[in-house]
Amino acid sequence: MAAAPSSDTDSGRGESKEASSKWLDAHYDPMANIHTFSSCLALADLHGDGEYKLVVGDLGPSGQQSCLKVLQGPKVLTESPLPALPAAAATFLMDQHEPRTPALALASGPCVYVYKNLRPYFKFSLPHLPLNPLEQDLWNQAKEDRIDPLTLKEMLEGIREKAEVPLSVQSLRFLQLELSEMEAFVNQHKAKTLKRQTVITTMTTLKKNLADEDAVSCLVLGTENKELLVLDPEAFTVLAKMSLPSVPVFLEVSGQFDVEFRLAAACRNGNICILRRDSKGPKYCIELSAQPVGLVRVHKVLVVGSTQDSLHGFTHKGKKLWTVQMPAAILTMNLMEQRARGLQAVMAGLANGEVRIYRDKTLLDVIRTPDAVTSLCFGRYGREDNTLIATTRGGGLMIKILKRTAVFADGGGEVGPPPAQATKLNVPRKTRLYVDQTLREREAGIGPGPGPHLQAHTAPAEHLDSPPHPGAAGLLPVRGGALRPAPGLLQGPLVGARAQLPPGDLCGESQ
């Protein structure tokens, strides 16, 4: 009974056949052992030889052995271990010196490691956070043995209740200890200076003063301390500091730092904050009703993916433009920019193994992958423009190249009535036996037969006076529940007491 799918569904849909696909499969290695997120992928010409390489901050299969991998073509060129898990990777031009090769910045923990020509060049650490002066004071007293552990504990707890500035890790650890251990702890640690350090959660680049491709860029860091820092590329000083209501997870910038820029930060509390130059805090705040999964800026529209499996488009002032529902959870999002044709679209990797490409609300293409895609990157790779690089959940690496002849027409997605409309309803069939029984009932029904039988039980007035049927009353309050009586019994309890017809005359076929 399965209806053949109509031809319009095939033509518009994501192609599984090579011939009609817009993508060439360049490479697929399911055993590449690369586990990463979109923020840790970057494409750049690191050696200045015109051949773009892929930089991957690999987190390792269980988040243990993180390393920095550089790939050229399908092969891994270099692999170097990292001290901590990389939160983000970005390539940027640091200065105007020749040769103009981009440097690689890797954010991990509280530091940014800068590599030039794949050699470690510089390490920037986030400035320490200010300490609570009361806490500092207390520990100083402890150092000079002017205070006993119990009092120290009480005072520290008092600070924790009320203070704006949180305690340092040392104090927090101390507060957790048992009485017996406190003395030892204080003696061990009282000489140390208190520190409060935060980590980097996200990073992106912002052009400094020119909008060219090869202009110098600043680094923009988002920290766990709910702040955004803009770093100067040459001296690595903090040029600007902005604060947010919550910890930033994804960043999108546009503009130039010296002229005018806009920053959109998707935060952990489900909001998207939009900041402008010279504003200490967010100018606009978009409140989503779920967590943002990805943030991509396409021309002037901010496309946000949410954990409710939908894509939303917002203006830069925060007004919602459109919503598109996805068939599965969104895992990652990234920008697809085809410079030659001036096309900018959003790629979304879904949990059901699809990569969907949207331009505004219209679905341009669907790519089916053998495994769910966890990170996406599009750009120039090797000497080929328009390459899509994706890593999958199982650690595989996939490289696809967009065909030169491929044109994304609007309406390449799903059009027309849903395919379900073509499948016929599955109406249960009746047997010959049933039809015979109905005829029999018709003939036997009229006449003196059943009448007297019915009479004794069916006077309608009795419907009102007699107590409601126990079966019905007992179960009536349950509405729409999962009560599935066996078919055979269906007719029994409800009306068995009422119509005592000779059994053969009921429509006795089974469901």
Partner 1 sequence: MAEERTVMRTQLPTSAESQNPQLKKALEFPILEKQNWLIHLHYIHKDYEACKAVIKEQLRETQGLCEYALYVQALIFRLEGNIQDSLELFQTCAVLSPQCADNLKQVARSLFLLGKHKAATEVYNEAAKLNQKDWEICHNLGVCYIYLKQFNKARDQLHHALHLNRHDLTYIMLGKIHLLEGNLDKAIEIYKKAVEFSPENTELLTTLGLLYLQLGIYQKAFEYLGNALTYDPTNYKAILAAGSMMQTHGDFDVALTKYRIVACAVPESPPLWNNIGMCFFGKKKYVAAISCLKRANYLAPFDWKILYNLGLVHLTMQQYASAFHFLSAAINFQPKMAELYMLLAVALTNLEDTENAKRAYAEAVHLDKCNPLVNLNYAVLLYNQGQKREALAQYQEMEKKVNLLKDSSSLEFDSEMVEVAQKLGAALHVGEALVWTKPAKDSRSQHRTTSASKAACFQQPLGSNQALGQAMSSAAAYRKLPSERGEGREKEERNIDE
Q: How far apart are the first and last CA of the chain?
A: 19
Out of 7, 176, 180, 405, which residue is the one contacting partner 1 (CB under 8 A)?
Answer: 176
Q: Which is nearer to partner 1, 101 or 202 (CB)?
A: 202
Task: Tell which positions 25-44 bind partner 1, by CB under 8 A.
Answer: 37
Kindly tell me which residue out of 141, 198, 315, 338 binds partner 1, with binding defined by CB under 8 A. 198
Q: How is residue 502 written in tokens?
A: 């000779």
∠ Cα 393 399 405 (to 5°):
135
Give the whole-angstrom CA distance, residue 296 versus residue 253.
Answer: 10
User: Which one among 451, 474, 492, 504 touches partner 1, defined by CB under 8 A?
Assistant: 451
Tokens of 469: 């049927």
Pairwise CA distance, residues 295 & 326, whole Å: 16
Quick check: helix, strand or coil at residue 484?
coil
Determine if 391 is a binding residue for partner 1 (CB under 8 A): no
Helix (H, G, I), strand (E, B) or coil at 172: helix
Angle among Cα 387, 393, 397 to the nearest 5 degrees reads 35
Pick one of 190, 268, 277, 380: the residue that binds partner 1 (CB under 8 A).
268
SS3 at position 476? coil
State the Cα–Cα distance between residues 256 and 258, nearest whole angstrom. Answer: 6
Q: Cα(459)–Cα(129) distance, rounded to whole angstroms?
A: 87
Quote the least distance from Cβ 258 to partner 1, whole Å. Answer: 22
- The answer to whether 159 contacts partner 1 (rule: CB under 8 A) is no
β pairing state of 111-116 and 103-108: antiparallel
d(CA 89, CA 78): 16
d(CA 3, CA 26): 36
Of positions 472, 474, 492, 504, contacts partner 1 by CB under 8 A:
472
Residue 405 in the binding site for partner 1 (CB under 8 A):
no
Contact residue for partner 1 among 325, 340, 342, 383 (CB under 8 A): 325
Q: Which one of 25-33, 316-324, 378-386, 404-412 is the stretch in contact with partner 1 (CB under 8 A)?
A: 316-324
Pick the binder of partner 1 from 150, 172, 184, 433 (CB under 8 A).
172
The answer to whether 433 contacts partner 1 (rule: CB under 8 A) is no
Binding residue for partner 1 (CB under 8 A) from 259, 281, 435, 492?
A: 435
Of 169 and 211, the one with the shorter C-beta distance to partner 1 is 169
Taking the C-alpha atoms of residue 69 and residue 26, their distance in angstroms, rounded to an integer, is: 19
Which is closer to partner 1, CB of 186 or CB of 401?
Answer: 186
Using CB under 8 A as the binding rule, whether residue 418 contacts partner 1 is answered as: yes
Residue number, 341 or 361, with CB nearest to partner 1: 361
Q: Using CA atoms, how far apart are residues 451 and 151, in angstroms rounded to an integer?
A: 96
Which region among 13-21, 92-100, 197-205, 400-408 touches partner 1 (by CB under 8 A)? 197-205
Q: Which is nearer to partner 1, 48 or 445 (CB)?
A: 445
- Which of 30, 133, 417, 492 binds partner 1 (CB under 8 A)? It is 417
Give yes or no for residue 124 binding partner 1 (CB under 8 A).
yes
DSSP single-letter state for residue 373: E
Contact pick of 17, 99, 464, 503 for partner 1 (by CB under 8 A): 464
User: What's the CA gap between 377 and 31, in Å, rounded?
Assistant: 19
Least Å distance between CB 71 and partner 1?
22
Interface segment toward partner 1; rule CB under 8 A; list 5-13, 69-77, 189-197, 376-384 = 189-197
Q: How far apart are CA 332 and CA 323, in angstroms?
A: 17
Q: Cα 69 to the chain's mean position, in Å? A: 24
Rounded CA-CA distance 214/220 in Å is 18
Nearer to partner 1 among residue 319 and residue 404 (C-beta): 319
Tell me if 432 contacts partner 1 by CB under 8 A.
no
Cβ distance to partner 1 smaller for residue 122 or 279: 122
Q: 97 exposed, middle or buried (CB, 10 Å; 0-12, 13-18, 19+)?
A: exposed
375 sits near partner 1 (criterion: CB under 8 A)? no
CA triplet 144, 150, 154: central angle to 5 degrees? 105
Which residues between 125 and 144 bind partner 1 (CB under 8 A)?
A: 125, 127-128
Contact 83, 67 (CB under 8 A): no
| Contact status, residue 211 vs residue 177, Cβ threshold 8 Å | no
Q: Which of 24, 26, 215, 329 binds partner 1 (CB under 8 A)?
A: 329
Find the binder of partner 1 among 91, 170, 334, 392 (CB under 8 A).
170
Contact string (CB under 8 A) for partner 1, positions 273-302, x = contact = --------------x-x-xxx---------
- Kindly write down the DSSP assignment for every residue of 246-266, as one continuous string: S-EEEEEEEEETTTEEEEEEE
Q: Give, as ranges, the residues between 225 and 254 that touch partner 1 (CB under 8 A).
A: 235-237, 247, 249
For partner 1, the binding residues in 51-80 under the rule CB under 8 A are: 59, 62-63
Closest separation in Å from C-beta 448 to partner 1: 7
Tokens of 209: 């003063």
User: Closest approach of Cβ 380 to partner 1, in Å?
Assistant: 27
Position 125, amino acid: S
Query: Judged by CB under 8 A, which stretch of 98-106, 209-217, 336-344, 442-450 contacts partner 1?
Result: 442-450
Interface with partner 1: number of residues (CB under 8 A):
113
Smallest distance from partner 1 to CB 123, Å = 5
Which CB, 405 or 421, lies closer to partner 1? 421
Of the candidates 36, 153, 123, the one whose C-alpha atom is nearest the C-alpha of residue 389 is 36
Cis peptide before 282 (omega within 30 of 0): no
